[in-house]
Amino acid sequence: MKKIIILGPESTGKTSLGNWLSKRHHGLFAGEYARTYFETHNINNYDLQDIDCIYRRQLEMEAVIFREAKSQLGVVDSSFITARIWSEEVFGQVSPFIEAGYQSEKADLYLLTETDIPWIADEQRKNEHNRDYLFNLFETYLQEKEAPYFKVSGTGEARYEKADKAVSQLLQF
């Protein structure tokens, strides 16, 4: 199975893109557990232990979804790169668990979503005014890891088609 991780700043269409790609390629999709976590926890009062808890549960969820997969594609809407940036930006430090996850995380392709679509506010989003800064952090970490990545830009169907082209090329190999 090929693993694709979609990452980028808030409100850049990651979940929609992940759902679309997994359906298009008859793959499996593992959503972002953090959103589920904060449905029952206070998003304005959390700490590094909460981030660790979220990413432990994210890994468990992915394991269940992909365990007996017969699909050639698994799409994930979260990343230890995200957890590392989140930890650094909010708390100025990264837990050993998140750092280990960052160092060991591998994907066949990362899709990095650009900030060229409009911000859509919701109760969990906090970073409307620093999306470009965060995008640059994501790209820096992908480069640091020497990870294979493709920047997804554009709006509407054009955005999906660009991502689809990168995924289709991956699946041909």
Main-chain phi, psi angles of 35, to 5 degrees:
-65, -40
Domain holding 93, by residue range, is 2-172
CATH of the domain at 59: 3.40.50.300
Torsion, Cα 75 44 51 131, to 10 degrees, reads: 50
Cα(101)–Cα(21) distance, integer angstroms: 25
> Does the pLDDT at position 129 exceed 90?
no
Confidence of residue 173 (pLDDT cuts 50, 70, 90): low
What pLDDT is stored for residue 63 in this prediction? Answer: 92
Count up the domains in the chain and report the number.
1
> Does the pLDDT at position 2 exceed 90?
yes
pLDDT digits (tens, 9 = 90+) for 24-66: 999 999 999 998 999 999 988 999 999 999 999 999 999 998 8
Query: 122 versus 163: which is more confidently predicted?
Result: 163
**H/E run at residue 2:** strand 2-7
Using left for φ > 0, alpha for ψ between -120 and 50, and beta otherwise, residue 66 falls in alpha
Confidence of residue 123 (pLDDT cuts 50, 70, 90): confident
